[in-house]
C-alpha cells in the first residue's frame, strides 16, 4: 500500500478542484491510500479580497515572512508518505503565505523529510520564480522534488489581468462585460488534469521517478512563455525594492502601499506592453538563450 499526501491551500476553490482531479487516479487505485491536508492559518485571508487586504499582504508575501498555521492532524504527522503532491497559489510572484508558512514550519520538516514531492501550481501566468522559491524551501526540509506541474490562465496577459481582478474582488468566476473569457485555469484543463495523475501513478508504484518530468512536460504540464518569464524576473527586482521600503517604514506603510498600487497599475498597463514589444524584437537574437531557459524552467533541477 502506497501512502500519498495531497497538500493544498485554496481560496476560490480552483486549486482544490485541481488537487481532486490530479489525485483521482490514486483514489481509484485500491493499492494507494490518499490523505488530504488543507493548510489553515491562524490569521484568515479573505476571499473575495477587499482592496486594503489584498495590497496589505504584499510585503510579507514577497519577503516570505511566515505566519502561524493550524497544526496538521496527528494522523498526518505520524504517517510515512511515499509521495506528496504539493499544490500552491502564487501571490506577488511568491508562494502564498499559507504555503510558505507550512514549508517553513517544524511540521514540514517532519512530514516532508526525505519524501518525493511533486509541486503543482495554479496561477494567473507568472509562476516560474515562485517555483524557484519553493525549490529552496523544499531543500531546506530535505524533501526531494521529482516533478512539477504549472497550470495557468492561458489567455492574453492583459485580458487575464482584467478577468482575474474581477474574480478576486467579486468572488465569482464570470465573463467580465459578458464576453471576456472566464478567469483562471480553464474548466476543461482542470478536468483533463487527471491525466497527470495517471502519468505519475506508475512511477509511484515503481518508486522511481526518472523521466517523470519529461513525460509531464510532453503532456502539457508546464506552460512556458518567454515574455512572462522576462517580466517575472524584472518584477522580482522591483518587488524587492518595494517590499524592503515598506517593511523598513512601518509608520508610512499605508501611504507606501497606495503608491505601490499606483506603480503596479503603471507596470501592468504601460511597462509590460513595452517590454513585450522589446522581447518580440529580440526573440530571434536570443533564441538559443531562450531555449536553454525553457529547458531549465520546464525541468526540476
What pLDDT, in 10s, does the model give residues 249-282? 999 999 999 999 999 999 999 988 888 888 889 8
Which residue, chain included where needed, has cell 517604514? 249
Report which of 236, 219, 62, 231 is spatially closest to residue 149, judged by C-alpha positions: 219
Phi, psi of 44 (to 5 degrees): -85, 145
Quote the pLDDT of residue 282. Answer: 83
Mean pLDDT throughout 49-61? 97
Q: Is 112 exposed, middle or buried (0-12, 13-18, 19+ CB in 10 A)?
A: buried
Round to whole Å and give the CA distance between 224 and 242.
Answer: 27
User: 254 phi and psi, to 5 degrees?
Assistant: -60, -45
Domain with CATH 3.40.50.360 in the chain: 2-225
Topology at the third CATH level for domain 2-225:
Rossmann fold (3.40.50)
Global pTM reads 0.95
| Whole-number Å distance between alpha carbons of 274 and 280 | 10
Q: What is the mean pLDDT of the chain?
A: 96
- Residues linked to residue 152 through DSSP beta bridges, in sequence order: 123
Amino acid at each position: 500500500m502506497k501512502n500519498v499526501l495531497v497538500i493544498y491551500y485554496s481560496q476560490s476553490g480552483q486549486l482544490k478542484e485541481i488537487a481532486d482531479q490530479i489525485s483521482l487516479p490514486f483514489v481509484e487505485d485500491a493499492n494507494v491510500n490518499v490523505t488530504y491536508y488543507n493548510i489553515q492559518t491562524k490569521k484568515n485571508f479573505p476571499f473575495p479580497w477587499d482592496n486594503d487586504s489584498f495590497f496589505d499582504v504584499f510585503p510579507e508575501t514577497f519577503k516570505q515572512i511566515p505566519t502561524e498555521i493550524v497544526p496538521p492532524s496527528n494522523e498526518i504527522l505520524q504517517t510515512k508518505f511515499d509521495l506528496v503532491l504539493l499544490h500552491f497559489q502564487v501571490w506577488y510572484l511568491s508562494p502564498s503565505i499559507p504555503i510558505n508558512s507550512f514549508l517553513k514550519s517544524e511540521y514540514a520538516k517532519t512530514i516532508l523529510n526525505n519524501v518525493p514531492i511533486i509541486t503543482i501550481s495554479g496561477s494567473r501566468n507568472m509562476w516560474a520564480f515562485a517555483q524557484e522559491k519553493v525549490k529552496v524551501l523544499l531543500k531546506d526540509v530535505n524533501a526531494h522534488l521529482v516533478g512539477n506541474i504549472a497550470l495557468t490562465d492561458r489567455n492574453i496577459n492583459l485580458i487575464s489581468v482584467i478577468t482575474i481582478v474581477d474574480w478576486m474582488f467579486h468572488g465569482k468566476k464570470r465573463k467580465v462585460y459578458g464576453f471576456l473569457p472566464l478567469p483562471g485555469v480553464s474548466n476543461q484543463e482542470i478536468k483533463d488534469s487527471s491525466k497527470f495523475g495517471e502519468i505519475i501513478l506508475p512511477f509511484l508504484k515503481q518508486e522511481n521517478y526518472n523521466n517523470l518530468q519529461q513525460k509531464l512536460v510532453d503532456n502539457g504540464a508546464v506552460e512556458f512563455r518567454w515574455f512572462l518569464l522576462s517580466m517575472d524576473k524584472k518584477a522580482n527586482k522591483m518587488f524587492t525594492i518595494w517590499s524592503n521600503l515598506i517593511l523598513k517604514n512601518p509608520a508610512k506603510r499605508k501611504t507606501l502601499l497606495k503608491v505601490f498600487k499606483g506603480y503596479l497599475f503603471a507596470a501592468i498597463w504601460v511597462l509590460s506592453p513595452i517590454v513585450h514589444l522589446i522581447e518580440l524584437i529580440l526573440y530571434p537574437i536570443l533564441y538559443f538563450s531562450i531555449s536553454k531557459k525553457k529547458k531549465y524552467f520546464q525541468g526540476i533541477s
